[in-house]
Amino acid sequence: MEVLVNTFREIMDLMVHDVVVVPALSVVPDSDPSGLYRRMRIVTNEYARQMNWGWRNRRQEVSKP
């Protein structure tokens, strides 16, 4: 599981700010899929905070006098 999470984090680090990454993977039930989900969710939350969503900038521009 550690290798999957680290690889996912490396991919997210490469894409941060401009690209939305949607992971697609397949795991067997005995590999703790819920644990993998929780670990990857931590990475995606960090990634989302760093993402340039664009709408934030537009909203700020619209609210300027």
pLDDT score of 63 more than 60: no
Whether residue 39 contacts residue 5, with contact meaning beta carbons closer than 8 Å, is answered with yes
DSSP state of 20: -
Q: Which has more pLDDT, 3 or 51?
A: 3
CA distance 31 to 35: 9
pLDDT in tens, 4-61: 888 888 888 888 777 777 778 788 888 888 998 899 899 888 888 887 767 655 555 5
Map out the domains of the chain as residue ranges: 2-63
pLDDT value of residue 4: 84
End-to-end CA distance of the chain: 51
CA distance 50 to 43: 11
pLDDT value of residue 16: 79
Query: Pseudo-torsion of CA 37, 7, 51, 36, nearest 10°?
Result: 10
